[in-house]
Chain A
Amino acid sequence: MSQPDDFGFTEEAALLKESARKFFNEKFTADVLHNMVAGDPSPDRAPQVQWDEDIWQQMVDLGWSLLAVPEAQGGVGMPLVGVAGLVEELGRAAFPCPLLSTLAASYILSACGSEGEPALTEIAEGATATLVFADENGSLEPKATPIGVSSGNLDGTGYFVQDAGKVSHLLVCARSDSGLSLHWLGTDAAGVERTQDSIVDLTRDQAHIHFNNAQAQQVSADASAALEQALPALWTLYAADMVGAGEWLLQTTVDYVNARQQFDKPLGFFQAVKHPLVDVMVMIDQAKSLVYNAACAVDCEPEMARQYAHMAQASASDMADYSGSRAVQCHGGIGFTWECYVHLFFKRQRHSQMLWGDGPWHRARLAEIVIDAVA
């Protein structure tokens, strides 16, 4: 199979992206974000879950949370390229919400066969969900899951759970004698206890979750296979988020260096400022093109999806770091303050950079495919 030249980015996808940009521009500018999440600068502030459930509900009403749910389960079944367009806009707004987690859970559930269908139907009806699989070291290998399951009951603690304070459901990767399996349960189920982490990124929330004989519904007897199939879509979406956030950092910084004068010139006149920002732009464009290339592969060229998703993540992770660092540096002293919005996106980018594996990690996996696997 092969890709359509235009990535399969249809009129419908373009409309969705455009309306998402409008939506966030109208309802959720950076000052609104700052007011919402940056109230307490104290480094030892207590963990908080800060978001706007009303705006989120409007997003749900627009159908965004069920885009990745197949039509048969009451969702939209939109191709990944279209979903990536929406997520790019989400990243540009850094809107705190469980959209990414829920989309990710939808892709995993879709890879679970008929067992996953009831949970997908719940998402179509408004449920939100996040994946629990990491151990206390943040291992990216599902087989490292610290959670055990026996006769449908979960025990143990899962770490680095994204959006844990915002979702209604958990999708848990657990181990039993017969291997790795996936399980679905509500966050308010008996035996589930959530401890919020104190984190740097103000636009997200993260927790570790304790399971104490918590009863859950199995959605897949083969978690490895389901994750293997779904991970390229997840990686691609998280990369799209970084692209959007990178673009916000770039545009904001360019506006600043064009307006601010020193030595009787706008800062952008100086090449030590101009060239790094051009480098940021080029990195964003590389990552963005690789995101749509990977998304299109998931849609149309599945045999290449993994490779291309590694490329998108590798490129986006490196860019996430550089876009954040140049934005702070080029703003000078004001960029180093809490009052300047740049830190919100700097922190989101650093969080995203590490979340699903950074550049070197993805390149190492890519090398296993293109160097070692080919004779």
Chain B
Amino acid sequence: MAEVGQMDTPEQAEFRQSARAWLEDNRPADPIVRLPLTPLEIMTEGQLSYLQAWQKAAYDAGLVGCDYPVEMGGGGKNDCQRIANEEMLAARTPYMPNVIGLGMAAPTVFYHGQEAVKQQLLPRLFSGEDIWCQGFSEPGAGSDLASVQTFAERKGDKWVINGHKVWTSLAHFADWMILLLRTDKSVKHDGLSYFVVPIRSALGKGVTVRPLIKMTGETGFNEVIFEDLEVDDGYRLDELGKGWQVAMTTLLHERGAGDLVTPRSGGMKNKSSHVSNASSLISLAKRTIRSGSTAADDPLLRDRMMQQLVRETGMAASQRRTRVTALQDHPMRLPLQNKLLMSEIAQDTAGIATEVEGAAASLYLADDAAPDGGQWPMAYMNSFGFTIAAGTSEVQKNILGERVLGMAKSK
């Protein structure tokens, strides 16, 4: 493993020291509620308020938005978010609830928003007081995102929005939405524009949010209906008709290939959370008895578990290699693989875990006899969220083939 902190600049080293000291004294108490696998399945106010309190505390301690300018509520530092993330992950703090805000809305607003909008919105986004959601997908526009039909019509210096978004994660708690919509029906990509819209304050007044239930039984995503919602022109990001370019900034960051580092914590270890990786898979196999020995003695399962360990280690090594220019032929080749690898590895790891469990993989969360609290069948199902959301694996392969290998567009 690489040694943490070895290549720190003086600014980073000092920042790391203070982050570490703060985290030592301020690690949040274990939650009294069960936390879902990821923030995208936050279902109750109890879960949300626990996580929001953590994000606010981390923000006040300077661990969130470190590299953004001070006047927008950031820390004004150089490349320190990465340091904060390393320290938070090492301290096994909980994850942050405002993931879409931090990972997608913030960089998009930063690159494309007007100054006043940045100053108004980013501080509460970083602190987690405002939760954000992403209104991109529609019933008729998924992988073919540029075909969205939600429409904004000009009315003086306002816009009137009508349309239907689906799979909108966190919309049930969200204060704000990043919204990709159409302002011109005569052209496809160039007819798109991009807005930030306050949705919580408009609930029942032009915005309706209806929860959708996932295959795991959890909620977390929603459909959002717009009926004559009025929005100020100041909330438009970038120029009219440039919505597709703005959306690319969002998607690049969503897929872990953007240049602004997303604040990230997580990995908290307690009975209500579960980490699904090769080492927890191996530990499961060692505890699982089959015909007199353990699943960890089965040569076929051993081979498959080692495949996962190799892929996981390879992904981590690739993330390091991304920072060594001489070991890359194309600047986007590794970053654009992130999302594909992460989601496919998570899926296969959880899938193998359920095979290790065998018949016991039939037991779900509420069954006391379920190994690891029934989290593996849950993780397996949940993993399809990762391979579908944010551009499916198939779409990621199209992008890699086209942008990196220069193959003809499949559309």
Contact = CB atoms under 8 A, between A and B. Distances in A.
Contacts of B337: 282, 285
Most buried by A among B318, B334, B394, B409: B318
Interface of B: 1-3, 6-7, 282, 285-286, 296, 299, 302-303, 305-307, 309-311, 313-315, 317-318, 320-321, 323-324, 326-327, 329, 333-334, 337, 340-341, 394, 397-398, 400-402, 404-410
A116 to B, nearest CB: 31
Contacts of B3: 2-5
Contacts of B307: 314, 363
16 contacts: A4-B7, A5-B6, A250-B405, A258-B408, A273-B407, A277-B405, A282-B341, A292-B324, A301-B1, A314-B307, A366-B310, A367-B303, A370-B306, A370-B309, A371-B286, A371-B302
Interface string A270-290: 110111011101100111111
Nearest to A270: B410
Contacts of B408: 258, 265-266, 268-269
B368 to A, nearest CB: 28
Interface stretch (A9-17, A102-110, A203-211, A216-224): A9-17
A278 B405 contact: yes
Nearest to B300: A360
Given A5-B7, A9-B326, A274 B2 contact: no
A286 B401 contact: no
Given A271-B410, A281-B400, A290-B314, A7 B309 contact: no
Contacts of B313: 290, 293, 308, 311
Interface string A352-375: 000000001001101100110000
A197 B345 CA distance: 42
A5 B407 contact: no
Nearest to B307: A363
Contact of B323 (A5, A286, A367): A5
Contacts of A215: none
Nearest to A290: B314
Interface of A: 2-7, 9, 13-14, 17-18, 85, 247, 250, 254, 257-258, 265-266, 268-271, 273-275, 277-279, 281-282, 285-290, 292-293, 301, 304, 308, 311, 314-315, 360, 363-364, 366-367, 370-371
Contact of A254 (B2, B302, B407): B407
A371 B320 contact: no
A142 B313 CA distance: 28
B407 A258 contact: yes
Given A274-B398, A289-B321, 15 more contacts: A2-B1, A7-B321, A9-B326, A265-B408, A271-B397, A271-B398, A271-B410, A274-B397, A275-B397, A285-B318, A290-B314, A311-B310, A363-B310, A366-B310, A370-B309
Contact of B2 (A5, A257, A308): A5
Contacts of B310: 286, 290, 311, 314-315, 363, 366
A278 B397 contact: yes
A254 B408 CA distance: 11
A272 B291 CA distance: 42
A301 to B, nearest CB: 8
4 closest pairs, A vs B, by CB?
A268-B407, A14-B326, A289-B317, A286-B314
Q: By CB atoms of chain B within 10 A, which of A250, A275, A277 has the most?
A: A275
Given A4-B7, A367-B302, A371-B296, A268 B327 contact: no
A4 B321 CA distance: 11
Nearest to A2: B3
Contacts of A18: 326
B326 to A, nearest CB: 4
Contacts of B285: 371
A271 B318 contact: no
Contacts, number: 157
B265 to A, nearest CB: 21
A254 B406 contact: yes
Contacts of B296: 371
Contact of B306 (A14, A289, A301, A363): A363
Nearest to A88: B327
A176 to B, nearest CB: 35
Contacts of A366: 306, 309-310
A288 B341 contact: no
Nearest to B304: A363
Contacts of A287: 314
A17 B337 CA distance: 24
A39 to B, nearest CB: 32
B314 A311 contact: yes
A367 B314 contact: no
A49 to B, nearest CB: 33
B404 to A, nearest CB: 7
A306 to B, nearest CB: 13
A318 to B, nearest CB: 9
Given A258-B408, A363-B306, A6 B314 contact: no
B324 A282 contact: no
B321 A292 contact: yes
A16 B7 CA distance: 23
A30 to B, nearest CB: 18
A291 to B, nearest CB: 9
A363 B311 CA distance: 12
A144 B299 CA distance: 24
Nearest to A257: B407
A116 B179 CA distance: 69
A20 B272 CA distance: 53
Given A258-B408, A371-B286, A363 B321 contact: no
Given A278-B401, A281-B400, A286 B311 contact: yes
B401 A288 contact: no
A14 B320 CA distance: 16
Contacts of B314: 285-287, 289-290, 311, 315
Nearest to A372: B296
Nearest to A368: B302
A6 B398 contact: no
Given A5-B3, A286-B315, A311-B313, A269 B306 contact: no
A277 B402 CA distance: 11
B38 to A, nearest CB: 24
A250 B324 CA distance: 22
Contacts of B306: 314, 363-364, 366-367, 370
Nearest to B400: A278
A363 B301 CA distance: 11
A215 B311 CA distance: 47
Contact of A363 (B2, B302, B341, B401): B302
B405 A268 contact: yes
A266 B407 contact: yes
